[in-house]
């Protein structure tokens, strides 16, 4: 993990500073272990409550925002997807000259290329021993093994969630929904939060944003989803017109896009679109408010989970110490038709 200063540059320590940091880290680790250990002081007037209050995390369902294909290409190192192209002259080049015998026909052809996406292998283990089980059993209603397994599964879920939206911090070839390279990024259309638009400004935005998307993809597709920063989404419940409180800004946007695209349209909030959460990631730069118009179609963009999260059976060599592992394979998100994904940033 890198620590950055207020300018976004890595912080470097001298040898003396590193030594002091190591001593403090060991001290804090020991204090944390004692604070999170089995031994908790109680008295005769203490009652152990059955319910356990668990730690909570920010969670979002990536499949609501993008197609995710699971179980295909298991144990591959790369997933290759072919893309086909029509290669022909203009339509009227096929007009026949009836006055010429044996004239050569104009030809239609097709071409193909491929897109390769790297597959990442993932695995983590958990372990426990008999004394830990016995001590945990006396501590009340807390299940040691279950808690360890839930911790690992949560680590996987949150990691995949971050990968799907923002990609990898370490591997530039593993990109997320909001960090695709080669996608048009518009920095002039949205220059303030949509929740602040009203009246003529909101009407102007609705009239232009879909045309930008359609022009970008040569009018070959319609968007189905509009992903916006959560901080902006939470303000869309306000009235779209200060004088007539008939509809909220969110209602106006959803109804307008649904009418124009002639199919149900979704506007979804995404905290990863807020600059406070994406400033560390590749292709977002120093942090921007990120919006995305996309076509929810796995031929347009997709993420893959070739091997979903799988846990092995627990085993032991001495019947005293036990362990098991969980493993998975995943890819980042890939825009196979990059013109059907359109970014707005400010």
CA separation for the pair 60, 310 (Å, rounded): 21
Distance separating alpha carbons of residues 190 and 197, to the nearest angstrom: 10
pLDDT score for 187? 93
Per-residue b or e along 214-224, where b marks 16 or more CB atoms closer than 10 Å to that residue's CB: bebbeeebbbb
Q: Are 304 and 192 in contact (CB under 8 A)?
A: no
Taking a C-beta distance cutoff of 8 angstroms, is the pair 288, 344 a contact? Answer: no
Residue-level pLDDT at 36: 66
Q: What pLDDT does 133 receive?
A: 86
Token match 């995404």: residue? 270
Whole-number pLDDT of residue 175: 94
| Closest CA relative to residue 275, chosen from 195, 205, 193, 220 | 193
Let me know if residue 188 belongs to a domain: yes
Q: How many CB atoms lie within 10 A of CB 169?
A: 14
Structural domain count of the chain: 1
What is the per-residue pLDDT for 71?
Answer: 93
Please say whether the beta carbons of 106 and 94 come within 8 A.
yes
Cα separation, 144 vs 252, in Å, equals 50
Cβ(249)–Cβ(236) under 8 Å?
yes
- DSSP-derived 3-state class of residue 154: helix
Question: CA nearest 60: which of 306, 346, 277?
Answer: 277
Q: In angstroms, rounded to a whole number, what is the distance separating the alpha carbons of residues 59 and 271?
A: 10
Does 157 map to a domain?
A: no
d(CA 252, CA 255) in angstroms, rounded, equals 5
pLDDT 10s digit of each residue in the chain, 346 long? 566 555 566 667 777 667 666 655 655 455 545 566 666 666 777 676 767 777 888 899 999 999 999 999 999 999 999 888 888 888 888 888 887 776 788 888 889 989 999 999 999 999 999 988 888 777 667 788 988 999 999 999 999 999 999 999 888 899 999 999 999 999 999 999 999 988 888 888 988 999 999 999 999 999 999 999 999 999 998 877 655 567 889 999 999 999 999 999 999 999 999 998 888 775 655 679 999 999 999 999 999 999 999 999 999 989 999 999 999 999 999 999 999 999 999 9
Domain assignment present for 149 = no
* pLDDT on residue 108: 86
How many angstroms separate the CA atoms of 292 and 316, rounded?
49
Query: Is 133 among the domain residues?
Result: no
Residue 229 belongs to domain with CATH number: 3.30.2320.10
The angle at the Cα of 121, spanning 172 to 64, to the nearest 5 degrees, equals: 70
Strand, coil or helix: 109: strand
Domain housing 258: 184-302+337-345
> 176 in a domain, yes or no?
no
What is the per-residue pLDDT for 135? 81
CB proximity list for 135: less than 8 A, separation 6 or greater = 38
Does residue 316 belong to any structural domain of this protein?
no
The answer to the question of residue 232 being in a domain is yes
In a domain, residue 61? The reply is no
pLDDT at site 97: 80
Q: Which long-range contacts (CB under 8 A, 24 or more apart) does 83-86 make?
A: 83/112, 83/113, 83/114, 83/115, 83/336, 84/110, 84/111, 84/112, 85/110, 85/111, 85/112, 85/113, 86/110
Write down the pLDDT at residue 14. Answer: 74
Torsion of CA 330, 333, 337, 338, to 10 degrees: -150
**Six-digit token pair at 174?**
């593993």
């Amino acid at each position: 993990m890198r620590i950055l200063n207020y300018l976004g540059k890595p912080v470097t320590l001298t040898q003396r500073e590193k030594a002091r940091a190591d001593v403090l880290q060991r001290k804090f680790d020991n204090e944390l272990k004692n604070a999170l250990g089995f031994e908790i002081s109680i008295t005769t007037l203490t009652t152990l409550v059955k319910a356990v209050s668990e730690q909570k995390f920010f969670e979002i369902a990536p499949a609501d925002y993008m197609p995710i294909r699971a179980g295909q290409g298991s144990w591959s190192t790369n997933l290759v997807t072919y893309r086909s192209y029509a290669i022909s002259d203009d339509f009227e080049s096929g007009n026949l000259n009836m006055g010429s015998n044996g004239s050569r026909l104009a030809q239609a052809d097709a071409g193909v290329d491929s897109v390769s996406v790297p597959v990442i292998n993932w695995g983590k283990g958990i372990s426990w021993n008999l004394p830990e089980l016995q001590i945990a059993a006396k501590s009340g209603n807390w299940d040691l093994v279950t808690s360890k397994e839930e911790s690992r599964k949560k680590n996987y879920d949150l990691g995949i969630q971050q990968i799907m939206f923002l990609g990898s911090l370490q591997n530039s070839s593993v990109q997320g929904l909001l960090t695709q390279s080669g996608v048009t990024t518009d920095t002039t259309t949205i220059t303030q939060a949509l929740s602040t638009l009203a009246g003529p400004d909101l009407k102007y935005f609705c009239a232009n944003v879909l045309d930008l998307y359609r022009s970008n993809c040569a009018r070959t597709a319609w968007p189905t989803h509009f992903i916006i920063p959560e901080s902006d989404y939470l303000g869309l419940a306000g009235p779209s017109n200060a004088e007539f409180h008939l509809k909220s800004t969110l209602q106006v946007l959803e109804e307008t896009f649904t009418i124009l695209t002639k199919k149900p349209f979704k506007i979804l909030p995404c905290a990863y679109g807020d600059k406070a959460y994406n400033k560390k990631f590749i292709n977002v730069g120093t942090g921007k408010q990120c919006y995305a118009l996309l076509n929810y179609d796995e031929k347009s963009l997709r993420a893959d989970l070739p091997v979903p999260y799988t846990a092995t059976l627990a085993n032991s060599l001495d019947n005293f110490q036990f362990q098991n592992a969980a493993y998975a394979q995943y890819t980042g998100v890939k825009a196979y038709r990059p013109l059907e994904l359109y970014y707005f940033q400010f």
